[in-house]
Amino acid sequence: MAEYWNISPGLEAKAKAFLSAKPEADVNLDFEIGVKDFVNAGKGSAEVKNVLKRLGVDPVVLRRIAVASYEAEINVTAHSNGGIMHSYVYADLVYIRFEDKGPGIADIEQAMVPGWSTADELVREMGFGAGLGLPNIQKNSDLLHIESVAGGSTTLEIIIYYA
Protein backbone atom coordinates (compact mmCIF):
# COMPACT_ATOMS: atom_id res chain seq x y z
CA MET A 1 0.00 0.00 0.00
CA ALA A 2 1.23 3.46 -0.88
CA GLU A 3 0.29 6.64 0.85
CA TYR A 4 0.60 10.38 0.13
CA TRP A 5 0.01 13.31 2.48
CA ASN A 6 -0.06 17.02 1.87
CA ILE A 7 -1.29 19.42 4.54
CA SER A 8 -1.15 23.23 4.49
CA PRO A 9 1.46 24.53 6.94
CA GLY A 10 -0.01 25.29 10.34
CA LEU A 11 -3.01 23.04 9.87
CA GLU A 12 -1.27 19.64 10.43
CA ALA A 13 -2.41 19.05 14.02
CA LYS A 14 -5.91 20.39 13.48
CA ALA A 15 -6.52 18.40 10.29
CA LYS A 16 -5.12 15.13 11.67
CA ALA A 17 -7.15 15.53 14.86
CA PHE A 18 -10.24 15.94 12.72
CA LEU A 19 -9.45 12.81 10.69
CA SER A 20 -8.91 10.65 13.76
CA ALA A 21 -12.08 11.91 15.47
CA LYS A 22 -14.28 12.23 12.35
CA PRO A 23 -17.27 13.67 14.20
CA GLU A 24 -20.68 12.98 12.73
CA ALA A 25 -21.53 15.50 10.02
CA ASP A 26 -24.81 17.39 10.04
CA VAL A 27 -25.07 17.22 6.28
CA ASN A 28 -23.69 14.47 4.12
CA LEU A 29 -24.12 13.69 0.46
CA ASP A 30 -23.21 10.49 -1.36
CA PHE A 31 -22.76 10.38 -5.09
CA GLU A 32 -22.00 7.35 -7.21
CA ILE A 33 -19.45 7.87 -9.99
CA GLY A 34 -19.63 5.61 -13.04
CA VAL A 35 -16.81 4.42 -15.31
CA LYS A 36 -15.99 6.94 -18.08
CA ASP A 37 -19.29 8.64 -17.34
CA PHE A 38 -18.36 12.17 -18.41
CA VAL A 39 -22.00 13.12 -18.81
CA ASN A 40 -22.73 12.80 -15.10
CA ALA A 41 -19.32 13.25 -13.52
CA GLY A 42 -19.30 16.72 -12.01
CA LYS A 43 -22.82 16.50 -10.67
CA GLY A 44 -21.60 15.38 -7.24
CA SER A 45 -19.41 18.44 -6.86
CA ALA A 46 -22.20 20.66 -8.24
CA GLU A 47 -24.46 19.38 -5.42
CA VAL A 48 -21.81 20.13 -2.82
CA LYS A 49 -21.41 23.60 -4.29
CA ASN A 50 -25.16 24.21 -3.99
CA VAL A 51 -25.18 23.18 -0.35
CA LEU A 52 -22.21 25.41 0.45
CA LYS A 53 -23.84 28.40 -1.25
CA ARG A 54 -26.83 27.91 1.05
CA LEU A 55 -24.52 28.00 4.04
CA GLY A 56 -23.01 31.27 2.89
CA VAL A 57 -19.45 29.96 2.46
CA ASP A 58 -17.07 32.67 1.20
CA PRO A 59 -17.10 32.82 -2.64
CA VAL A 60 -13.31 32.45 -2.96
CA VAL A 61 -13.25 29.35 -0.73
CA LEU A 62 -16.29 28.04 -2.55
CA ARG A 63 -14.42 28.11 -5.86
CA ARG A 64 -11.45 26.25 -4.31
CA ILE A 65 -13.80 23.54 -3.08
CA ALA A 66 -15.53 23.43 -6.48
CA VAL A 67 -12.23 22.92 -8.34
CA ALA A 68 -10.80 20.32 -5.97
CA SER A 69 -13.96 18.23 -5.83
CA TYR A 70 -14.65 18.53 -9.55
CA GLU A 71 -11.12 17.42 -10.48
CA ALA A 72 -11.26 14.49 -8.09
CA GLU A 73 -14.62 13.41 -9.43
CA ILE A 74 -13.32 13.53 -13.00
CA ASN A 75 -10.28 11.48 -11.90
CA VAL A 76 -12.51 8.71 -10.57
CA THR A 77 -14.55 8.49 -13.76
CA ALA A 78 -11.52 8.81 -16.07
CA HIS A 79 -9.08 6.45 -14.37
CA SER A 80 -10.93 3.98 -12.14
CA ASN A 81 -13.49 1.22 -12.29
CA GLY A 82 -16.03 3.57 -10.71
CA GLY A 83 -16.52 4.67 -7.15
CA ILE A 84 -18.34 6.81 -4.62
CA MET A 85 -17.95 10.41 -3.53
CA HIS A 86 -18.84 10.95 0.14
CA SER A 87 -19.17 14.60 1.14
CA TYR A 88 -19.44 15.72 4.75
CA VAL A 89 -20.31 19.31 5.47
CA TYR A 90 -19.46 20.91 8.83
CA ALA A 91 -19.78 24.44 10.21
CA ASP A 92 -16.08 25.16 9.60
CA LEU A 93 -14.93 22.74 6.92
CA VAL A 94 -15.88 20.32 4.21
CA TYR A 95 -14.44 16.81 4.15
CA ILE A 96 -14.78 14.79 0.95
CA ARG A 97 -13.70 11.16 0.52
CA PHE A 98 -13.52 9.43 -2.86
CA GLU A 99 -13.38 5.63 -2.79
CA ASP A 100 -12.91 3.72 -6.01
CA LYS A 101 -12.89 0.06 -7.05
CA GLY A 102 -9.38 0.01 -8.46
CA PRO A 103 -7.06 -0.45 -10.25
CA GLY A 104 -4.87 1.63 -7.91
CA ILE A 105 -2.19 4.25 -8.59
CA ALA A 106 1.15 2.63 -9.40
CA ASP A 107 3.32 5.56 -8.29
CA ILE A 108 1.60 8.37 -6.37
CA GLU A 109 4.65 10.69 -6.24
CA GLN A 110 4.88 10.43 -10.02
CA ALA A 111 1.13 11.11 -10.38
CA MET A 112 1.57 14.35 -8.41
CA VAL A 113 3.97 15.77 -11.02
CA PRO A 114 2.16 18.41 -13.11
CA GLY A 115 1.74 17.27 -16.70
CA TRP A 116 2.19 13.59 -15.99
CA SER A 117 -0.83 11.55 -17.04
CA THR A 118 -1.89 7.97 -17.68
CA ALA A 119 -5.09 9.07 -19.41
CA ASP A 120 -6.16 6.93 -22.36
CA GLU A 121 -7.30 8.09 -25.81
CA LEU A 122 -11.00 8.39 -24.85
CA VAL A 123 -10.26 10.55 -21.81
CA ARG A 124 -8.02 12.86 -23.85
CA GLU A 125 -10.69 13.13 -26.53
CA MET A 126 -13.06 14.39 -23.84
CA GLY A 127 -10.63 17.23 -23.16
CA PHE A 128 -9.22 15.79 -19.95
CA GLY A 129 -5.95 14.05 -19.17
CA ALA A 130 -3.63 17.07 -19.12
CA GLY A 131 -1.96 15.74 -15.99
CA LEU A 132 -3.10 18.64 -13.85
CA GLY A 133 -5.86 16.90 -11.88
CA LEU A 134 -3.98 15.88 -8.73
CA PRO A 135 -1.75 19.00 -8.63
CA ASN A 136 -4.89 21.13 -8.89
CA ILE A 137 -6.58 19.22 -6.08
CA GLN A 138 -3.50 19.70 -3.92
CA LYS A 139 -3.27 23.40 -4.74
CA ASN A 140 -6.87 24.04 -3.73
CA SER A 141 -7.21 21.89 -0.61
CA ASP A 142 -5.91 22.26 2.94
CA LEU A 143 -5.41 18.54 3.31
CA LEU A 144 -4.92 15.92 0.64
CA HIS A 145 -4.48 12.28 1.58
CA ILE A 146 -4.23 9.45 -0.94
CA GLU A 147 -4.07 5.79 -0.07
CA SER A 148 -3.70 3.28 -2.85
CA VAL A 149 -3.24 -0.46 -3.11
CA ALA A 150 -1.52 -1.54 -6.31
CA GLY A 151 -4.11 -3.50 -8.28
CA GLY A 152 -6.69 -2.59 -5.63
CA SER A 153 -8.69 0.44 -4.57
CA THR A 154 -7.71 4.06 -4.06
CA THR A 155 -9.07 6.42 -1.41
CA LEU A 156 -8.57 10.15 -1.83
CA GLU A 157 -9.54 12.49 1.00
CA ILE A 158 -9.62 16.26 1.01
CA ILE A 159 -10.36 18.82 3.70
CA ILE A 160 -10.97 22.48 3.00
CA TYR A 161 -11.56 24.99 5.81
CA TYR A 162 -13.88 27.94 5.21
CA ALA A 163 -11.62 30.39 6.99
Partner 1 sequence: MAVTDKRYYHAIQIVPDNCTGCTSCVKVCPTEAIRVRNGKAHIDATRCVDCGECVAICRFHAILPKSDPLDIIHKFKYKVAILSSAYAGQFTEDIPYPTAKKALLELGFDEVAEEAFVTDFMISLIRDYIRQHREIRPILSSNCPAVVRLIQVKYPSLLPNLLHQEAPMSILTRFLREKYMAEKGLSDTDIGIFLIVPCVAHVTAVHQPEGAYKHLQDGAFSIGMIYGKIRERLRKMNDENPVIDTYEQGLTWALAGVEAEMVDTNDIRALSVNGMPNVLEILSKVEDHYLDQYDYIVLRSCTNGCVGGCLNVENPFVAMSRIKKLIKNASKQDIDVSELKSLYKEGEFDVVPLEPRSIMQLDQDIKQAIQKMKKLNEILVLLPGLNCSACGSPTCYALAEDIVSDKASIDDCVVLLKRHQKEED
DSSP-assigned letter for residue 151: T
CB nearer to partner 1: give 138 or 148: 138
Give the residue from 119, 16, 15, 132 showing the smallest Cα distance to 70.
Answer: 132
Instruction: Give the residue, chosen from 18, 31, 44, 45, that forms a contact with partner 1 under the rule CB under 8 A.
Output: 45
**Radius of gyration for the chain, computed over Cα atoms and rounded to the nearest angstrom:** 15
Q: Does 106 bind partner 1 (CB under 8 A)?
A: no
CB-based contacts of 127, cutoff 8 Å, min separation 6: none
DSSP-assigned letter for residue 148: E
Instruction: Give the residue, chosen from 22, 63, 120, 152, that forms a contact with partner 1 under the rule CB under 8 A.
Output: 63
Q: Does 91 bind partner 1 (CB under 8 A)?
A: yes
Q: Which residues here bind partner 1, judged by CB under 8 A?
A: 26-27, 42, 45-46, 49-51, 53-57, 59-60, 62-63, 66-67, 70, 89-92, 162
